[in-house]
Homo-oligomer: A and B are copies of this chain.
Amino acid sequence: MSGVAPIQFWFDFISPYGYLASLRIDELAARHGRDADWHSLLVGVTVLRVMGMKPLMETPLKKDYLPREIARYTRRHGVVLRRSVTARAMNPLPCARAFTWLRTHASAHAKPFARAVFDAVWARGEDVVERVALLACAARSDTPAALIEDAIAAPDAGPLLRAEVQRAIEQGVFGSPFVLVDGEPFFGVDKFELIDEWLARGGW
């Protein structure tokens, strides 16, 4: 997969749509000889503030629609969510920080760890906030525990994540999932079929 730029995959660990996209993004990219470069952002905490928007699950009408849309999607794709999409959101900072630190300092472990976090949060219904939960995700993804301990203690984990979120905003990324293919922006898991066509045709 050399010589072709990876596609950028942006997600928030507490976004159900981000989770659903995470189950498909690597296969989608690989089908076209691409890698997917995973990036964590914080929609609720930072991006929505830039946009002047409330969280979707606090937005009248939309908050009733989204659970139906997600249920329809999961039935269609045979995915089972074990966390309510309407429950109060888990704090995404600890896992986003740990993931972003890993992708900088031990990048081979970043994606397996992120998959384990997504799986814990959405397929197991666990909160991944405390040290012990982060270490459980490390164990399940063959990430050395010492790396996670380092990530938790690292003074640069916060700044690294802030820089990622800033980079997202500078590139116009505002939601989860958000995919950039050679600069072309695609928002939402609904766009995955279109991304597939875009990659196959080389754009249009």
Residues of A within 8 A of B (CB): 47, 50-54, 59-62, 64-65, 68-69, 72, 75-76, 169, 172-174, 184-185, 187-188, 190-191, 193-194, 204
Contact = CB atoms under 8 A, between A and B. Distances in A.
Given A51-B62, A69-B187, 11 more contacts: A50-B61, A51-B61, A52-B54, A53-B54, A53-B59, A62-B174, A65-B174, A65-B187, A75-B204, A76-B204, A190-B190
Contacts of A194: 190
A144 B69 CA distance: 42
A51 B47 contact: no
A151 to B, nearest CB: 29
A147 to B, nearest CB: 33
